[in-house]
A and B are shown apart, each in its own frame.
Chain A
Amino acid sequence: MTRYAWLQKHPTPAARAGEFHWYPSGGDRELQAAFAERLPSANGGTLWQLSGDEVAWALPFVAVAADGRRYTGLALAVADSLAQLAPAAGAPWTDATVEPQPATPPVLPDLAGVARALLDGGSAAVGDPAHPGLPRALAAVERIMPARGARRGTWLAGTARAGADRVAELAARAVVAPDSRAARGWRLACELAGAGRSVDEVVEASTAVSRAWITTLNAWGRGKIADDVDALADRVALRVLARLVADEDPGWAIAEARWHALLPADRRAELLTAVARRAGTLKALIHG
């Protein structure tokens, strides 16, 4: 269910003398103050805020009050998730205001930009930020995001694309083709992130090329070097990720550990168990 509140000067049952007020009164004043504070930086876009169990969506509108002065108000909508949210129209509340209905999601012009904004907070161009179906379009992107803290930003009008962003592009590919290698790569990156590592750091680490990888593994298997098995398992996981990002067969990275390194059976089992422990995606890959 979506709850609504309006910041306006136009009369409502809560205030009729032209005061700048929230209607209905008595809502979450902290949330309302947070959005009111961001009003000057909205630049015509839609303000949003995501936390673990709540999504807030505020559409600014410009109106002229009864005293003839121009003002910028807000139509705020709060729901449990983006998929459930039906934003209010960007206009002051009046007696004629009706409950918004869910609308068809629009096509997002910059999916990668949106993914980046949902990952870290920030702005992205979404075409028409007042489109009533926009939350549902964004819900498809938010669905693949790892568990994050509170994020906030602004959805801007237009189709301008953000600069090159390897991680956001991967997320965008995962949204477009949920069964693709990119989608599996994104899931793996999210699984490997956490514990002090962001998705960006994981993807960045996966690009590091180790030319003597097979030799290193073999040396470890023969007891010539004393690397930690978890550190080696992490490198196997990152090699799998690198192949998925590059749209290549990830099984090759497992085959390196299983066959090419010529590890003794006990060492091989120890390493693959450690790799499988790191992520469900890897477990499925190892066990076929």
Chain B
Amino acid sequence: METSTPRRTALFVDEPIAELRGLAALTDPDDDVAAVIDLAVMGARGDGKTQFLVHAIRALHGRAPALAGGEQELNLAMMRLVLDPRAQRPDATPPGVVPHFTFRVRAAALFERVGWRSSFRLASRVARVTGLVVVACLLAATGLAMALRGPIAPAVIVGASGAVLGAVAALIARRRIESAGEIEIVFWDVAGEQIYSPNAADYHALLDRLVHARRRRAESLGRPYSFAPVLICNPIALGTFDEGSPYVRLRALLPMFASIDHHAARALIAINRYSVVDRICARGAPRDEVVEVTTRPRGESALPAQRVARELVREHCLDAEDGRDGQLALHYLRYDTAIRSTVDADPEAATLAYEYDDGPGTFSGDAHRRFLAWVSGLPRWTPVVASEEAPAAVVPPPPVPAPATAHDAWARPTGPR
């Protein structure tokens, strides 16, 4: 009889970074998942990390695996929000805590929804049908060439053979991917304001320990593993050249966090509220102008206006393209978190009013498919030879004592320093 308790192993017996909580609650799956992916979702306060998580889980059609304790509670809180957009948003993540949310998606479900190019890539890497596909393509091309230059009957036979072989390759790929099982994706909620603070090194160390422990276990089980940071970019919060913005500071640190995965440094920048970008960067508008954007959730009062430099929006949102930043492979995702939104611009006054309605939507437009393609491309699907023993939970070294803080670290309520 199948047991109802989660088949999972704790990766850490205690917090390896005493001042930062999050790893002791983590468990790694014992069942045969096709791959494990850790995504560190970073974003400044109010930039839309939770919205991204909700949209990503909806886009993946993610399901929560059997978990226990704190992991289950976190998943339940997130699922409440995924399924009911009117549910109360979870409280902001306090400093010193890095919560995670564990979800699964069938590899076959990704294969069906990622588009031709990514499907082919997934089929080649997971199902290893590249040879068959190449032969099928060659036969089809030969058939076409023969049809153009000679008798039609042999050309039809050759071309049809190619088509049949292609169909067989697709069926084999489908079956192999189906049998590959599920991919476990773990989203880590990393408060951006803590990344550009004196505690940044702790956050980097925590993610480093995470990746090290995960990879050790993945290699012992012969399972692909990947880590990548996701940085949230809210165009409205990019600020001006004088003020700077948390996003710009986080963007500068992104390669450091992406390189925690020694095997491949990859990162995703998710530009939300994209419908305002076109209007801010309207054709013919002065490039050095600062635009005042008023945001208003439909049915609620408007939030305080934010000033944003048009050139910053152009640089970070409109002109940014997929590519490499040194060793870092960078992908951009452009979407609007709202299911309905209107943007009213007043070019004369350089003001913009953005009204939106959040609902149970997912990434808008092409972003849905692009996100799934990016996720499916993260794991190195080449087979890994399992080592003999799966490692047990990591026993952390004794914590390094914090720099001596004198008794005056505490304030007296009447007059803190």
Give me the interface of A with B, judged by CB distance under 8 Å: 3-5, 7, 9, 12-13, 18-24, 26-30, 32-34, 36-37, 39-41, 65, 67-72, 74, 78, 88, 93, 97-100
Contacts and interface: CB of A to CB of B under 8 A. Distances in A.
Given A26-B405, A27-B410, A36 B95 contact: yes
A36 B97 contact: yes
Chain B at the A interface: mostly helix, strand, loop or mixed? loop
B341 to A, nearest CB: 19
B383 interface: no
Nearest to B198: A25
A33 B416 contact: no
A19 B45 CA distance: 7
Contacts of A67: 45-46, 303
Interface in B308-365: none
A68 B300 CA distance: 11
Interface stretch (B86-94, B100-108, B227-235, B366-374): B86-94
A32 B410 CA distance: 12
B98 to A, nearest CB: 10
Given A33-B96, A36-B97, A71-B92, A24 B417 contact: yes
B403 to A, nearest CB: 9
A24 B411 contact: yes
A7 B194 CA distance: 14
A93 B413 contact: yes
A43 to B, nearest CB: 11
A133 B20 CA distance: 32
10 contacts: A4-B410, A18-B45, A20-B45, A23-B411, A29-B96, A36-B94, A41-B73, A67-B46, A68-B303, A72-B91
B93 A20 contact: yes
A88 B410 CA distance: 13
B306 to A, nearest CB: 11
A29 B402 contact: yes
Contacts of B96: 29, 32-33, 36-37
B411 A71 contact: no
Contacts of B131: none
Interface residues of B, number: 36
A12 B411 CA distance: 12
B193 interface: yes
Point out which of B21, B22, B74, B411 has the most chain A C-beta atoms below 10 A from its C-beta.
B411
B84 interface: no
A-B complex: 9 closest residue pairs judged by Cβ atoms: A3-B410, A33-B96, A29-B19, A36-B94, A37-B21, A24-B411, A30-B18, A36-B96, A99-B413
B412 interface: yes
Interface in B39-65: 45-46
B53 to A, nearest CB: 16
Nearest to A71: B92
Given A36-B21, A41-B73, A20 B94 contact: yes
Interface in B167-183: none
A274 to B, nearest CB: 42
A33 B20 contact: yes
Point out which of A12, A18, A34, A40 has the most chain B C-beta atoms below 10 A from its C-beta.
A40
Contact of A33 (B97, B407, B417): B97
Nearest to B193: A19
B68 to A, nearest CB: 14
Contact of A71 (B91, B399, B413, B414): B91
Contacts of A88: 413
B385 interface: no
B191 interface: yes
